[in-house]
Each structure stands twice: as structure tokens, then as C-alpha cells.
Amino acid sequence: MDDFKPQPAAAPPKPPLGPPIRSAKSRKLQFSLRSMLIATAAFAVVAAVVGLIGHDVVELATLLVILCMLPVAVGTLAVYCRGERRTFFGGAVAGLLLLLPFADSAYRGWFGGLIPSIVLEVAAIAVGGFTARYVRRFAAARGWDRESDAG
């Protein structure tokens, strides 16, 4: 009986693991095969249209949409918004009006093409809008926006 050595006790069984915990961030990165195939088909259709009608025609159409529709949308927002948003979009319209003399230059490629023209237009919206917004705050802080009672 000298050969008998006590065996260590068996470890208690571990509880079963539940489903893996997924954060909301990992859910955003998931995609389905269907959405990937739809995006691929849409890209193929756009590439075929560009190949059939030419790159210059597609660039002109895109530029006209951007130069015509974006100012109309910003102007509509300037009319129908209230308060600080109305001031912002009013200033954005002023910034876009300053770009009108350069509309022809944008198509001729003097700004480097379509993408720089879009960037220039968005920058004009931002600069004009934020300038108008901060001028309004400046005037309100000094009481210049109130009508005088002496009258």
C-alpha cells in the first residue's frame, strides 16, 4: 500500500459560455452578401454608362447638378429655417454667390477638375455660413439686434 498516492481532486465543471458579446460598433461593420452584390452591380452600371456616353458628358452633368442644385437647396433652407440656422444658410448663400463668376472656370478645369470645385463650393458654404453666424452672435452680445425704445 505504499504505492498509493492521493490524486488531486477534479476541478469543478465550468459553466457553459453564453453567446459572444458583440458591441454596437461591430454590428456596423457587418454587411450582407446581397448588399455587396447590389453595390457591385450599381458600380458596373455607372462604369458602363460612363464608357458609353463619355467621361466629359458625365463630368459636365455632375458639375451642373452641383452648381445648380446645391445653391437652390441652400437658398431654400435659408428661407424656411428659423433662428441661427437661417443666419447660417443665409451666409452660405452669400458665399455661394461669390463663386458664381468662377462657375465657368470650374468646368474648364482651372481649379483642377470636379473634386476641387466641389471642395471649393463646400468651403464657400462653410465660410459664409459660419461668418454670418458669428457676426449675428457678436451683434446679439452687444445688443445691436434689439430695436431701440426711443421712438
Radius of gyration of the chain (CA): 31
Tell me, yes or no, whether 66 lies in a domain.
yes
pLDDT given at position 26: 55
pLDDT of the residue at 44 = 92
Does residue 106 lie within any of the structural domains? yes
pLDDT digits (tens, 9 = 90+) for 6-20: 677 777 777 777 666
Alpha-helical (H) ranges within the chain are 24-28, 33-53, 55-80, 84-98, 103-108, 114-141
Q: What is the pLDDT of residue 3?
A: 67
Measured between alpha carbons, how far is 109 from 114 in angstroms, rounded to an integer?
8
d(CA 43, CA 16): 46
In a domain, 105, yes or no: yes
Residue 67, domain member (yes or no): yes
Q: Is residue 146 part of a domain?
A: no
Q: Which residues form the domain of 113? A: 54-141
State the cell numbers at 111: 481649379
pLDDT band at 151 (very low <50, low <70, confident <90, very high): very low
C-alpha–C-alpha distance, residues 68 and 106, integer Å:
13
pTM over 0.85: no
Question: 23-70: per-residue pLDDT in tens?
Answer: 555 556 677 888 889 999 999 998 888 888 877 777 777 777 777 788
Q: Report how many domains make up the chain.
A: 1
Q: Is residue 89 part of a domain?
A: yes
Whether residue 133 lies inside any domain: the answer is yes
Q: Give me 107's grid cell.
A: 468646368
Classify residue 29: in a domain, yes or no. no
In the chain, the percentage of residues whose pLDDT exceeds 70 is 75
